[in-house]
Amino acid sequence: MYEVEVKVRADRDRVRERLAELGADRVDAVEQVDTYYDAPHREFAETDEALRVRRETVRSDGEEGDPGDESFAELTYKGPLVEAESKTRREVETRVADGEAADAVFEALGFDPAATVRKDRERFALEEFTVTLDAVAGLGEFVEVETDVETEGDVEAAREGAYEVLRDLGLDPDDQIRTSYLGLLLAADGADHAEGEGESESGDE
């Protein structure tokens, strides 16, 4: 399976209005706090890997019978690009009962927390696309349009479709940002992280 994803800077309020006009369905709203680790024995920026512990809180929608906010933690490893064209990479993921314990295991093993990405996300379904409105701490607001396709041959058409969705939302595909939030944060973080890590896509959301 191939994930096609395009991302641009955008004002969330304006896009939310357009989504309502287009009849998109609101899926959920979550908060994600992601800790990315540096390895003691490898330069992930060079090997194009990422190790992440995520805390996600699914926001209650306040309706009757709603169980309230629900939180979980998740451990994720992302491997280097398997195939550059389609940007596919190996991803291994499991929920963990205790996110602090997962952090503590990696820190005890010599992995250092390199950066934390905090964001509020609202997800909408629009035809075969997921439209995500992100407010990323320290970076601002973004809109992502993504979809999955079965074969590499469908990637190009899906990307064109995602661009079309962006235009429908009043946004310009030419503003596409290919750098991950992690990359953007590390690049903004100053010279000590600036050599190349901003180009890494392993931190993609």
Which one of the listed residues 2, 36, 37, 181 is annotated catalytic? 36
Contacts of 61 (CB under 8 A, 6+ apart): 28, 29
DSSP one-letter code for 197: G
36 is catalytic: yes
Q: How far is CA 157 from CA 3, 33, 151, in A?
A: 12, 33, 11
Nearer to its own copies, 9 or 42 (CB): 42
Residue 200 Cβ vs its own copies, minimum distance, rounded to whole Å: 16
3-state SS assignment for residue 120: strand
Nearer to its own copies, 73 or 133 (CB): 73
Q: Which residues bind its own copies (CB under 8 A)?
A: 39-42, 49, 51, 75, 77, 79, 90, 92-99, 101-102, 104-105, 108-110
Residue 144 CB burial class (10 angstroms; 0-12, 13-18, ≥19): buried
Distance CA 103, CA 112 (A): 9
Residue 123 Cβ vs its own copies, minimum distance, rounded to whole Å: 22
CB–CB of 177/167 below 8 Å? no
Exposure string (b/e) for 5-14, b if CB count within 10 Å is 16 or more?
bbbbebebee
Nearer to its own copies, 99 or 198 (CB): 99
Residue 109 Cβ vs its own copies, minimum distance, rounded to whole Å: 7
Nearer to its own copies, 24 or 53 (CB): 53
Residue 179 Cβ vs its own copies, minimum distance, rounded to whole Å: 23
